[in-house]
Copies of this chain bind each other. A is one copy, B any other.
Amino acid sequence: MYKPFRYLCDIHPIRAAKKHAGTMSQDHSKKRANLRDVAKAAGVSVATVSRVMNAPKTVSQQTREKVEAAMTALRWRPSAAARAINSGRSRFVGALVPTLDNAIFARFLSHLESGLNLHGLSLVVATTGGDPKVETEKAHTLLDIGAEGFVLSGISQDPALLDLIDHMQIATIVTSFFDPNYVLPTIGYDNAEASRIALAHLEGQGHRDIAVIHGPKSLNDRTRARLQGLGDHHPDSALTFYETPLSTRGGCDAADMVLQQARRPTAILCLSDVLAAGAMSELQRQGIGVPDDISVMGIDDLPSSETLYPALTTVHLPVASMGTAAADALALWVEKGEKPAPRRFGPELALRASTRRVS
Q: List residues of A whose CB falls within 8 A of some B CB.
A: 6-9, 11-12, 14, 32, 75, 77-82, 84-85, 90-92, 99-101, 103, 106-107, 109-110, 113, 122-127, 140-146, 167-168, 247-249, 251-252, 274, 277-278, 280-282, 284-285, 303-304, 306-310
Contacts and interface: CB of A to CB of B under 8 A. Distances in A.
Given A85-B85, A92-B145, A146-B81, A277 B106 contact: no
Contacts of A248: 303-304, 306-307
A92 B78 CA distance: 18
A109 B100 CA distance: 8
Given A9-B12, A252-B307, A101 B103 contact: yes
Given A9-B12, A281-B309, 4 more contacts: A77-B144, A81-B146, A100-B100, A249-B307
Closest 7 CB pairs of A and B: A9-B9, A81-B84, A281-B309, A100-B106, A248-B307, A284-B309, A248-B304
B127 A303 contact: no
Contacts of A123: 125-126
**Most chain B CB atoms below 10 A, which of A90, A124, A252:** A124
Contact of A100 (B75, B80, B110, B145): B110
19 contacts: A32-B168, A79-B85, A79-B146, A82-B85, A85-B85, A92-B145, A100-B100, A100-B107, A100-B110, A101-B103, A122-B124, A122-B142, A248-B304, A248-B307, A249-B306, A251-B307, A274-B304, A278-B307, A281-B309
Nearest to A164: B75
Contacts of A124: 92, 122, 124-125
Nearest to A309: B281
A145 B122 contact: yes
A94 to B, nearest CB: 9
Contacts of A304: 248, 274, 277-278
Contact of A106 (B106, B140, B249): B106
Given A85-B82, A101-B110, A127-B110, A77 B140 contact: yes
**Most chain B CB atoms below 10 A, which of A8, A90, A101, A307:** A307
B109 A303 contact: no
**Most chain B CB atoms below 10 A, which of A11, A81, A92, A285:** A81
Given A32-B168, A77-B140, A126-B122, A145 B308 contact: no
Contacts of A9: 7, 9, 11-12
Contacts of A107: 100-101
Given A103-B101, A124-B124, A77 B307 contact: no
A32 to B, nearest CB: 7
A259 to B, nearest CB: 14
Nearest to A285: B309
B99 A110 contact: yes
A114 to B, nearest CB: 8
Contacts of A249: 303, 306-307
Contacts of A308: 281
A80 B303 contact: no
Contacts of A14: 8
Nearest to A141: B122
A329 B348 CA distance: 46
A144 B78 contact: yes
Nearest to A124: B124
